[in-house]
Amino acid sequence: MTLKLTDVVLTYPDGDRTLTALDHVSLAVAPGEFAAVVGPSGSGKSSLLAVAATLVTPASGGVSIAGQDVSRAGQAARTKVRRDHVGIVFQQANLLPSLTALDQLLVMAHLAGESPRTAAERARELLLAVDLGGKEHKRPHQLSGGERQRVNIARALMNSPEVLLVDEPTSALDHHRGERVVSLLADLTRKNDLATVMVTHDLAALAAVDTVLTMSDGRLAEGTPPRAH
Ligand SMILES: Nc1ncnc2c1ncn2[C@@H]1O[C@H](COP(=O)(O)OP(=O)(O)OP(=O)(O)O)[C@@H](O)[C@H]1O
């Protein structure tokens, strides 16, 4: 399993008490599997993504990414695992306003110390894969919301991650653009053998996923997605 959470408990201080955001959560996502996480506001979806992204350390339980146990790893080791194996797509595209689509991707490679030539090749391939061939030199304000989200996805794949974590990718998009982004995520998951976890409120998006995980009060229940046909 590429992403594995075992009996994870995450708590936050809440006045003189503690709030349990994740209450003994276990999940496993295999390469090529597209999982959606749904559930009411405050049920723990973002907390689950943050733990899987190694951005927060749970109070107890195991977190394994691409075969590496990161639950007891220090800050530097967690950053390395994140940089080498995890792609993260946030809700808002948060692209840098002055950079072209191509440069948004190259910044990532530069930060990772990759050779500019290999990086440029890979960045062009990824922009083609998200259907933005010909738009490499456009800046964010020259792109539609859906196109910006696709740049965001391509950027998350620059480090060739095994795990892709996606937070509400369709919330700023109309139905048609949202559908396109979700079907692109499904394609990329299969083609690149990614273990993808997508938090969503968008019920239409569930037709494209393999697994639906439902969070409620910090607990997780697994179900089968409704099929369109
Ligand atoms: N940094 C924090 N400090 C304290 N409590 C937090 C923190 N982050 C989240 N919480 C609490 O943890 C619980 C789970 O929050 P989380 O953001 O994971 O829910 P969510 O399902 O993603 O919600 P939404 O759909 O509204 O984004 C909530 O009760 C929230 O108030």
Q: Residue 54 sits in a domain of what CATH number?
A: 3.40.50.300
The total of structural domains in the chain comes to 1
The protein residue with its alpha carbon nearest to ligand 1, atom 30, reads 42
Is the CB of 12 inside a 6 Å radius of any atom of ligand 1? yes
Is the CB of 78 inside a 6 Å radius of any atom of ligand 1? no
The protein residue with its alpha carbon nearest to ligand 1, atom 2, reads 12
What are the phi and psi torsion angles at 14 (to 5°)?
A: -140, 85
Q: Which amino acid is at 174?
A: D
The protein residue with its alpha carbon nearest to ligand 1, atom 3, reads 12
As a whole number, mean pLDDT of residues 145-162 equals 93
In a domain, 185, yes or no: yes
Mean pLDDT (the chain) is 91
Using the structure block, give the residue that is written with the tokens 């996480």.
Answer: 37
The protein residue with its alpha carbon nearest to ligand 1, atom 31, reads 42
In a domain, 13, yes or no: yes
Question: How many whole angstroms from 176 Cα to the centroid of ligand 1?
Answer: 29
| Strands of the chain, DSSP E | 3-14, 17-29, 34-38, 60-65, 68-69, 86-89, 163-167, 195-199, 211-216, 219-223
In a domain, 140, yes or no: no
- What's the ipTM? 0.94
CA separation for the pair 82, 55 (Å, rounded)? 9
In the chain, the N- to C-terminal Cα span, in Å, equals 29
Q: How far is CA 91 from the centre of its chain?
A: 10
In a domain, 108, yes or no: no
- Is residue 134 within 8 A of residue 128, CB to CB? The reply is no
Is the CB of 47 inside a 6 Å radius of any atom of ligand 1? yes
Which mutation among 9, 37, 43 tests ligand 1's pocket best, with the greatest number of atoms within 8 A of CB? Answer: 43
In a domain, 138, yes or no: no
As a whole number, mean pLDDT of residues 170-197 equals 92
Residue 229 has pLDDT above 50, yes or no: no
Is the CB of 4 inside a 6 Å radius of any atom of ligand 1? no
DSSP letter assigned to residue 31: T
The protein residue with its alpha carbon nearest to ligand 1, atom 18, reads 44
Q: Which residue segment(s) compose the domain that 84 sits in?
A: 3-93+160-223
Question: What's residue 228's pLDDT?
Answer: 47
Question: How many whole angstroms from 139 Cα to the centroid of ligand 1?
Answer: 33
In a domain, 143, yes or no: no
Q: For residue 8, what are the β-bridge partners?
A: 25
Question: What's residue 86's pLDDT?
Answer: 96
CA separation for the pair 82, 96 (Å, rounded)? 21
In a domain, 83, yes or no: yes
Percent of the chain whose predicted confidence (pLDDT) is above 90: 78
Lowest-confidence pick of 34-43, 106-115, 220-229: 220-229
In a domain, 129, yes or no: no
